[in-house]
Structure formats: C-alpha cells, structure tokens
Structure 1
C-alpha cells in the first residue's frame, strides 16, 4: 500500500475530524486486510500509511499520524520500546497489536508509552473500539462508529488470488489435492502450493486453518461453500 498524505483533516459523516492512522506490520497480507477492513467499516479513521518495516514508517511524508498500530513481533532488530517511544516523541499515540499476549510483552509496551496492548485474536470491532477510546472518540456520538459497532462481529477475510480461491473451493467441497489439480488442469505441486498459501493467509489474520476441518470452517464463515 502506497502512503498518502492529506493536506487537511478529512471530515467524517458526522462532521468530526477523521483520525489519521498508520499501520506497521511486516505481514503484508495482514497489513492489506486490516487497511481494507478499516476503510470499509470505520469511517472515523483513515489509513494514510501502511508500512511493512520501520524505516518505511518513519521516513514516510505521512508520518507522524494521529495513531499508529504497531505489530510487536517485527522481523527487525528494533525493540518495541524504541518504536513506541519514537512514535510518541513525534506526537502519535500507539496501540500495540500482538499474537504474543504475555505479561512481559504488555509491561514493556506500556512502560514505553503505548496507550493500549491488544491481542490479534480480538475481532476488529473490539480493536477499533479500543482505538476510539484511545483517541477520545465517544462512539455514542459518532454515527459512523455506531453503525460499525452495532454490526455483527466480523472476522478478517484474507485476500486470495483467483487460483488460491478456486483450489480452496474445490478442496473444501470434497476433492482431494490430486483431484483439485486435475480439475484446475495444473500440476499437483501447484495445487498443493495454492492450498498451502490459503492456510498461511488465514493463519496470518489469526484464523487457524491448518487442519481440513478448520479450513472447511473458514470456507463456511467466508461464503466459499456453495
């Protein structure tokens, strides 16, 4: 996702200023999915910057933003303390998102100045409700926030390629991997790779799909079962 910079605060449905949000996460699938979900369901937030690494975040002309979502476990040697403190010094509030929800991780994030520490297993409605609290937004006074808050809890749906989606649908419909390859007219290893990527993309958004039963459940949840 290419960073963008608004020249002036964007106005929301209720006339209030929209919160400029940055997301730092080195899982590009999750980064894209989070940005898409927020764009569709949280009109009081605008994702103006999506970064897959630390330098991409801090060197962007869109930085600092009002709020930054930071993944705790980045694959770079920059501590969570350094990341949080830099954002806070620049004037941005920070929410740390993590699949590693331990007391030590929470203590480190809060000690550095994070406003909130949230597990990636939470539904996005809960994540955005916390973001509103951090930014001092009263959901009861925000029409857009009310619409999102009263919607059913939604889970993040990974973006699949056409090949991955077709292999996924065939596999959860009862076809073996060999039969999937035959139906798609591709090599067995290609069909196997499609299904592996589907599992990986679901895992990255916190929805396990390692077992076939889990994969079928994900397909049912996301409307892939016919």
Structure 2
C-alpha cells in the first residue's frame, strides 16, 4: 500500500547522510514544518540504517556519497526491496549521477542547494507516485549492539543468491542470473535463511535478509 501524506497519520522517514549537521538540520525542519512526516531514523551510517529496529520506513532521504564501499545503486535497491521509497539528496548534482540513481529505482533526485521546503516537497511527490510501501518488521536486538554478527557460514552459491535477492529480484530472476533452476535458487535462499536463524540472526522476511546481507558485506 502506498503511503499517502494526505491521509490520516504520518509517513515514517529515515535520513541518511554522512554529515550529522545535515541530518539534524533536515530532521529539525521536518519536525517544525512537516507534521505529516515523522523522522523515525536519523543516521550517518548505511549499516546503522539497515540494522535499525524501525527499518524499513516509508521513505529514505539518502545522501549520494557515503564513506563506505557500498554503491548508491545497491543502497537504493536494498531500500526499495524492503518497501521504502528513496529520494537521493546530494551535493553532486550532475546528469550522470541522476541517471544512475533513477535507473537503480530512486523515486527522486534533488540537490542539497535547494531549500529544505523543496526537498520535502519532492519527497511528498515521490510518495504519491505510487512506488513506495512499508512492510512490517520485528525489532532487531542486534541493531543497538556493537558485537560482530555471528557467522552463518553461507556457501558461495547461497551468498550469491542472497545478494541478488536483496536487490529486489524475484526467486525466478535469481535462478536466471545464476543459470540454475528455480527450485535450486529457492533452496539456496531457504538454506541461507535457515543458517541465519541457527546463529540467532532472523532472516525470514526480505527486510531482515537485507540486514543480514548488509552486515555480511554482500551489497557492493
């Protein structure tokens, strides 16, 4: 179901930017001027977003360039696969970056030089575009911890299947990309989920599996 800013209730938003000042400034503006939006997550780290117990949200306002090795395409696809709309807010406002983000599934692309009202307006239009829709996720106790996650010991094929699946591909698409049968791809994903469950890392839902993939460096 597409979240509607005009409907009763609020739209849950996450803000991801590697500058805390920008995160806090945008959150403060939303809190004062946009009662239809609720900032549920504010963070400077990609992994903290994915592991946050409030993820997935309805909308992610995401910086283009973060200080990690995960590409913007993987970040967008992972959020979209979890059910969140994505608007990229960036200082690098060029045609190539815009095309990369939109091709990966971003619902909007806006320069940081724009007034905050324009940024939020674009976010509302992205939500009304019909692409987003949040899915319920249980809180992840690991979200607030600092310990390294337990190794699920996935095989190479299981890791590959998970990496493809968390980008939003169907099981049939995963099978085609791996050049295996549908049942084989389904088995890889089932085994991966089972292995994660055995080490206390839930992965039954797509959003949970996205968290596990992010934790284990499967997003590139």
Q: TM-score, normalised by structure 1?
A: 0.54
Name the CA distance, whole Å, in 1 between partners of 2:21 and 2:51.
22
Name the CA distance, whole Å, in 1 between partners of 2:112 and 2:6.
29
Asked if residue 134 in structure 1 is aligned to residue 126 in structure 2, the reply is yes
Asked if residue 23 in structure 1 is aligned to residue 15 in structure 2, the reply is yes
- Larger-Rg structure: 1
Q: Using a 3 Å threshold, how does the CA distance of structure 1 residues 59 and 103 change in structure 2: closer, same or farther?
A: same
Name the CA distance, whole Å, in 2 between partners of 1:52 and 1:45.
20
Match of 1:68, SS state, is: strand
Measured after TM superposition, the shift of residue 136 of structure 1 is 1.4
Bigger relative CO (Cα 8 Å, ≥ 6 apart): 2
Name the CA distance, whole Å, in 1 between partners of 2:74 and 2:5.
36
Asked if residue 102 in structure 1 is aligned to residue 103 in structure 2, the reply is no
Name the CA distance, whole Å, in 1 between partners of 2:30 and 2:89.
15
Asked if residue 44 in structure 1 is aligned to residue 36 in structure 2, the reply is yes
Runs of 4+ that moved beyond 4 A? 12-15
Q: Using a 3 Å threshold, how does the CA distance of structure 1 residues 130 and 53 change in structure 2: closer, same or farther?
A: same
Q: TM-score, normalised by structure 2?
A: 0.55
Measured after TM superposition, the shift of residue 71 of structure 1 is 0.1
Asked if residue 82 in structure 1 is aligned to residue 71 in structure 2, the reply is no
Measured after TM superposition, the shift of residue 132 of structure 1 is 1.1
Match of 2:128, SS state, is: coil
Q: Using a 3 Å threshold, how does the CA distance of structure 1 residues 14 and 134 change in structure 2: closer, same or farther?
A: closer
Name the CA distance, whole Å, in 2 between partners of 1:66 and 1:55.
18
Measured after TM superposition, the shift of residue 17 of structure 1 is 2.2
Q: Using a 3 Å threshold, how does the CA distance of structure 1 residues 79 and 16 change in structure 2: closer, same or farther?
A: same
Name the CA distance, whole Å, in 2 between partners of 1:133 and 1:29.
25
For structure 1, the 5+ residue unaligned runs are: 1-11, 138-226
Match of 1:132, SS state, is: helix
Asked if residue 69 in structure 1 is aligned to residue 69 in structure 2, the reply is no
Match of 1:135, SS state, is: helix
Asked if residue 54 in structure 1 is aligned to residue 54 in structure 2, the reply is no
Contact 1:20 1:65 in 2 (8 A): yes
Name the CA distance, whole Å, in 1 between partners of 2:45 and 2:51.
10
Q: Using a 3 Å threshold, how does the CA distance of structure 1 residues 29 and 62 change in structure 2: closer, same or farther?
A: same
Name the CA distance, whole Å, in 1 between partners of 2:128 and 2:9.
12
For structure 2, the 5+ residue unaligned runs are: 130-220
Name the CA distance, whole Å, in 2 between partners of 1:53 and 1:13.
27
